[in-house]
Structure formats: C-alpha cells, structure tokens
Amino acid sequence: MVLLYCTLDYMGYKNKIDGQIKAFLDRGITVFLLSYNYSEERYFIHEMSKDNNDGTYRTKSQHRKWDRKYFCKLCKAKIQEIEPDYVYIRRMGVTMLYWGKFFKEQANNNLKYIYEIPTYPIEKGNRATMKFLRAIENYYTNNYILPFVDCAPVFCSVENVKILPNMIRTYNCVDIEKFKSMKNIPLPSFDGTNIRLLGVAHYQVWHGYDRIIKSMQNYRGNRKISFTIYGNLNSESIKLKQYVQDNKLSNIAFLEECDVNDYNSFLANYHIAVGCLAI
C-alpha cells in the first residue's frame, strides 16, 4: 500500500509530519513525501520516500521560484508516477484556490483523498487582510474541498466544537517516543549576571520576537543577556536575521536544527523560555 503526502512546509512542521509518517510506516504503508519549502529566499521542492524494507530515506531537492499552480501540477504528476492508494494533503491555506479543480477531477478515480486541517476551526486572524483570507479559505474548504475528499482529519483547538460529517477528530501527531522525559532536566547554573533566553517556534510576526531583540538592543544594565531562536527559515526569520546583522547584535543567535534525541541537554542550557508575545 502506498501513500503520497503533500504539504507546503515539511521543515516547519517536521516533528508532527514525521510522527504521522511513522504511524503509516508502522502499518506497512510506503510513504512518499512531496513538499514546497522556503530556504535562502528561494522555494525548493523536497521529495522523500521511506518504507519498512530498508528503513532509509531517499531525498531529492529542486530549487525554483514560488508558484502555487506548479505544486498542484507536480502532485498530479507524482500521482501518475507512483500510483498511490492514498493521497494525504496537509492544509494548503489560500493555495487551495488552485486545488478545487484538482479534487473535482480526481473524484471519479479509485484513490482515497485525505485533506488535513491542523487547527480547527481555522483561526480568523486579528488583521483585516488575514480575516479576509481566512474567510475565503473557510468558504473554499467547505464548498470545493471537503465535498470531494474521503475524509478530513482535524486537530480541534476548541473543546466540543461541531465538526462536519466527513471530518475525523484526532490529536497532535508528534511522535512522543522521540522525546525523552523532561522531568529530570538539570537546571543551568545561574550567577545573576548571565541570562540565557530561548525561543522554540515555527515563528511568525505574532510571536513578537522582534520586541525582545529591540529591548535587548536598548538594554543598558550590567547583566549579560543572550537570546537563541530555534525555528525554520521563513520570511519572518530572514527579517529578524537581517535586523540583527545590520545592528551587529552578537548576543542573538539563530538555529535551524536541533537533535530531538538530545532535547533535554539542549533545553538545560537556558534559563528562560520565551512564548508568544505579540497577541
């Protein structure tokens, strides 16, 4: 049995998607991943396949400019190439405007189509532009996507929320076996003069990390404060990196990778964890 997994950002949601892939593999399903990722101001196609036969990943990347239509065409071509039994598509946002015809065209074949909505109900946002885009997405999802898919797994952010007939309520897909217990994390030494902050997020403008960076820039006290930001490369991180570089802020560091198998040791290096500050 073969499953094609299509997503716009594998690297940004790697732990969750890997958890899902592991669940499929545990049931003897071969998985092909097709993703559109952002890196170094360019998008690239990331292909990965894995099965239980040899336990290894086979990857291939191709850089190109951002093109919403292209990714849809690529998924069609991959379906013809590998002839999967299932096609699993993670929420596409407004990119789905190019997928309505795709689902309608595929409705009569023998494949099973699954459309995942990671956060349901889909958040409305707090800006006029975002509210407008979310309204379009909700309307399009309900009228042009859900009627043509076999099921839609949803991760409900509100208890007792009413779901549609072909939705399946499910839970966070992070593979907890990859994370060791966090109960015994040793506390870092603290002498009152050095304070190390850590932010771990698929960060966007609403995380407000720019506020911390600018506050640290204006700080005139005697303590040495550093801020390490761990997250995937995207337009917001590029902006923050550029600001840090332009202002020569040596106490701000960016990480794009962290070994989850040694996560406790990673966390033990910091005194304060920074959450979402802008909302």
Cα distance between residue 278 and residue 262, in whole Å = 30
Burial level of 155, CB count in 10 A (0-12/13-18/19+)?
middle
Q: Is the pLDDT of residue 56 over 50?
A: no
Q: Which percentage of the chain shows pLDDT scores above 90?
A: 22
**Alpha helix positions (H), 32-91:** 68-82
Q: So what's the pLDDT on residue 108?
A: 67
Q: So what's the pLDDT on residue 224?
A: 93
Contacts of 174 (CB under 8 A, 6+ apart): 15, 16, 19
Q: So what's the pLDDT on residue 173?
A: 64
pLDDT in tens, 174-231: 666 665 555 566 677 888 889 999 998 877 777 889 999 999 999 999 999 999 998 8
Q: Is the pLDDT of residue 114 over 90?
A: yes
Q: So what's the pLDDT on residue 55?
A: 44
